[in-house]
Structures are given as C-alpha cells and as structure tokens.
Amino acid sequence: MNSWFFMGVVAALLTTFGFVPQILKMYRTRHVKDVSPLTFIQFLAGVGLWALYGMHIGDPIVTVANIVTFGTLVIALLLYVHFRGCSGNGCKSV
C-alpha cells in the first residue's frame, strides 16, 4: 500500500464522517434551529456527484466514501425534518 493510497483513505474517513458530530448534536438536543437544511441538500448533491464520478473512474475510495457520506447526510436531513418543529427546549420524543 503506497502513501498516496493511505492518504486517500484517511482523507475519505475524515470527510465521510465530518457530519457525524452535527448529527449527534441534533439527536441529543432535539434542536435544529441553527442548522441550515440547504447545507445538507448542497452536500447531498455534491457527494452524489462525487460517488458517480468515483464509479466512472473506477476508484473505490472515492465511490465508497461518498456513498457513505450520502447516507450520513440523509440521516442528518431526516433528523432536521423530524426536529424542525420542536421548541427551544427540544422535543420530548424521538
């Protein structure tokens, strides 16, 4: 395994799971007032296109990383939709 491959894997892991802290915060606080859904939608489009590009060039790191990122962003967007009507004190149920 060469150093460029390793660097690609590390970069993919860092960016793939970059939204996980936001997802955890939304889930714990049940609050999304300061979260922009447009950010999630924009990144969904971007990582979707990157996944297609990765498939086109046959690069498994680019493909898998962006498919997983797409999944985490879908979860974030679903949490946003679920919690958007909650008051400042958060929601009582999940």
Q: What is the pLDDT of residue 12?
A: 87
Domain ranges of the chain: 3-83
**pLDDT of 89 higher than 80:** no
Which CATH code for domain 3-83?
1.20.1280.290
**Which amino acid, one-letter code, is at 83?**
F
Note the pTM of the prediction, 2 decimals: 0.81
Closest to 44 (Cα-Cα) out of 71, 7, 70: 70
| Residue pLDDT, tens place only, 58-77 | 999 999 999 999 999 999 99
